[in-house]
Amino acid sequence: MMSNGCHSTERQLHHWMRFSLRSVFVLFFIVAILLGWWIDRRRLTKLLELREKQIWHLQQDPGHGGSLEQSRFTSADEFLQALRDARNENEFMEVTGPVVATDVAVEALPGLIDLLSDPESEIRGRSLIFLAWMGPRAARAVPEVIPFLDDESEVVRYNAMWMLGECGDASRDALPQLCRRMMDDDSPEAAYATSIVSKIDPTADVGDRFCQLLHNKLAVNRWTAAQYLPDHVEADVARRLLEARYEIEDDPTTCSMIASSLNKLSQ
């Protein structure tokens, strides 16, 4: 009887251990999925913030139908200090944005380049954003900006790509590095790098790459590819690909961008 009781206890313990290991495995699997989703969501959020900065700049630029306020800065040093002291991104854009079209921006160019060496990624990012707003007038900063394509901060890397794209042909030296990132299926920056390549070299045929990235494993690449695809392939092809992707897409942000691109194609 005692032996039977021991065997029964061992069987129960063995069953409990198998159940526990299975539970731990399932829990680990769920946590890994949630962690992957959270990381991808952060990347999407950062990219959305970048798009908001770009849209804000277009709204302020007289060449795009906006209007610039009178800048309150009379010297480059005063402006650069305000760029550093801004308490958040909204204040940074409101305070420094009106400077873009003034002579102070050009005078501040050496100082903006110096800020790229700042230990704080937020300051490096702000400098790159302003250089992007300046566009071709900041072209002489391109050699100093190219190394920041490999910055440790993802936001800084995105801003560096944005700035290089805004400088257009002057950024051709960055094309080899951008093309490598464009073709890296594991990079969350692949689709955005593709869009920047097309801005620097308008003759580059990037349509096929956007078609591939529309099915990339990373939502940030699918979202970005859906945004730019209509500009690089024939309308009927873009519509068919976007509609097909929408049917199987499980990321809400990507679905929203696909819908926006389809609306653009219908106009």
Name the pLDDT band for 79 (thresholds 50, 70, 90).
very high
Question: What residues does each domain of the chain span?
Answer: 48-204, 207-267
Rounded CA-CA distance 45/51 in Å is 10
Geometric angle at alpha carbon 154, from 48 and 50, rounded to 5°: 25
State which fold the 48-204 domain adopts: Leucine-rich Repeat Variant (1.25.10)
Say if residue 231's pLDDT is above 60. Answer: yes
Please state, as a whole number, how many other Cβ atoms lie within 10 Å of the Cβ of residue 9: 10
Q: Which of 80, 149, 81 is nearest to 109 (CA)?
A: 80
Q: Read off the pLDDT of residues 91-124 as tens digits, 9 standing for 90 and up.
A: 888 888 888 888 999 999 999 999 999 999 999 9
Whether 171 and 142 have beta carbons less than 8 Å apart is answered as yes
Say if residue 12's pLDDT is above 80. Answer: no
pTM over 0.95: no
pLDDT of residue 19: 52
Q: Read off the pLDDT of residues 36-78 as tens digits, 9 standing for 90 and up.
A: 555 555 555 555 555 554 444 444 444 333 334 456 788 999 9
